[in-house]
Amino acid sequence: MSTVFISHSSKDNVAAEMLRQRLADRGYASLFLDFDPADGIPVGASWERTLYRQLQACDVVIVLYSAHHRDSNWCFAEIALARMGGKRVITLLIDPLEGQAIPSILGEHQFLDLRGGADDATFARLWRGLAELGISDEATRRWDPKRSPYPGMLAFSEAEAPVFFGRGDETRQIIELLNANKRRDSQRMLMILGGSGSGKSSIVRAGVIPKLRHDTQWWVIDPFRPGREPVAELAERLARAFGQPPDAGSALANELRRSSIPQVLLTLVRRTNRPDATPLLVIDQFEELLSGADERAAEFLRMIDAACASDHFAVQMMVTLRSDFLAVLEQRRDVPNLQRASSSMSVPPMDRRALRALITEPARLCALELEDGLADRLLEDTGTPDALPLLAFGLRVLWDRGHEDGRLTTAEYEALGGLGRVLAREADAVLDAVKRDDPTAYALLPGAFVRMSRLGEGGGFARAVSSWEDHPVAVRAAMRRFVDKRILMSRGENGVDRVEIAHEALFRTWGPLAQWLDEQIDVLRLVQFLRDSVGRFSRDGDEADLLRGPRLARIKELAQSGQIVLTPDEQSLVERSATAEKDRLLREGNVIGAVLADATLRSLLEPRLKPLIEELLAEQKTREASSAFGFYDLQARELADTVDAAKNIAQAQVRWHPREAALTGNTGARGNYIDVFTFPCCGKQVLSDGSVSQFRSDGCQVHEPEGSATKGVSPAE
Ligand SMILES: Nc1ncnc2c1ncn2[C@@H]1O[C@H](COP(=O)(O)OP(=O)(O)OP(=O)(O)O)[C@@H](O)[C@H]1O
Ligand SMILES: [Mg+2]
Residue 559: pLDDT band with limits 50, 70, 90: confident
Three-state secondary structure call for residue 491:
strand
Ligand 1 atom closest to Cα of 165? 1
Q: Which ligand is nearest to the CA of 203?
A: 1
Domain annotation for the chain: domains and CATH numbers: 4-140 (3.40.50.10140), 167-346 (3.40.50.300), 588-687 (no CATH)
* C-alpha triplet 351, 352, 355: angle, nearest 5°: 90
For ligand 1, whether the C-beta of 148 sits within 6 Å is no
At 357 the pLDDT is 92
The answer to whether residues 64 and 10 touch, using CB atoms and an 8 Å cutoff, is no
Centroid of ligand 1 to alpha carbon of 287 (angstroms): 16
Pocket test for ligand 1, best of 388, 390, 487, 503 (most atoms within 8 A of CB): 388
**DSSP H or E stretch at residue 5:** strand 4-7
At 190 the pLDDT is 97
Q: Which ligand is nearest to the CA of 489?
A: 1
Residue 565: φ, ψ to 5°:
-110, 125
The answer to whether residues 317 and 306 touch, using CB atoms and an 8 Å cutoff, is no
Centroid of ligand 2 to alpha carbon of 291 (angstroms): 15
At 77 the pLDDT is 82
Centroid of ligand 1 to alpha carbon of 391 (angstroms): 10
**pTM of the predicted model as reported, rounded to 2 decimal places:** 0.64
Residue 107: pLDDT band with limits 50, 70, 90: low
Centroid of ligand 1 to alpha carbon of 202 (angstroms): 5
Ligand 1 atom closest to Cα of 166? 1
State the amino acid at position 715 in one-letter form: P
Rounded to the nearest integer, the mean pLDDT of the chain is 77
For ligand 1, whether the C-beta of 153 sits within 6 Å is yes
Higher pLDDT, 527 or 479: 479
For ligand 1, whether the C-beta of 508 sits within 6 Å is no
Ligand 1 atom closest to Cα of 358? 3
At 310 the pLDDT is 79
Q: Whose CA is nearest to atom 19 of ligand 1?
A: 199
Centroid of ligand 1 to alpha carbon of 393 (angstroms): 10
State the amino acid at position 144 in one-letter form: D
Centroid of ligand 1 to alpha carbon of 454 (angstroms): 21
Residue 344 has pLDDT above 50, yes or no: yes
Cα dihedral 343→214→210→256 (10° resolution): -60
In Å, how far are 59, 166, 240, 357 from 29, measured between CA atoms? 13, 17, 35, 17
The answer to whether residues 418 and 410 touch, using CB atoms and an 8 Å cutoff, is no
For ligand 1, whether the C-beta of 200 sits within 6 Å is yes
Q: pLDDT tens across 361-416, in order?
A: 888 777 788 999 999 999 988 877 778 988 999 999 999 988 878 889 999 999 98
Q: Which ligand is nearest to the CA of 382?
A: 1
Centroid of ligand 2 to alpha carbon of 450 (angstroms): 21
Higher pLDDT, 663 or 173: 173
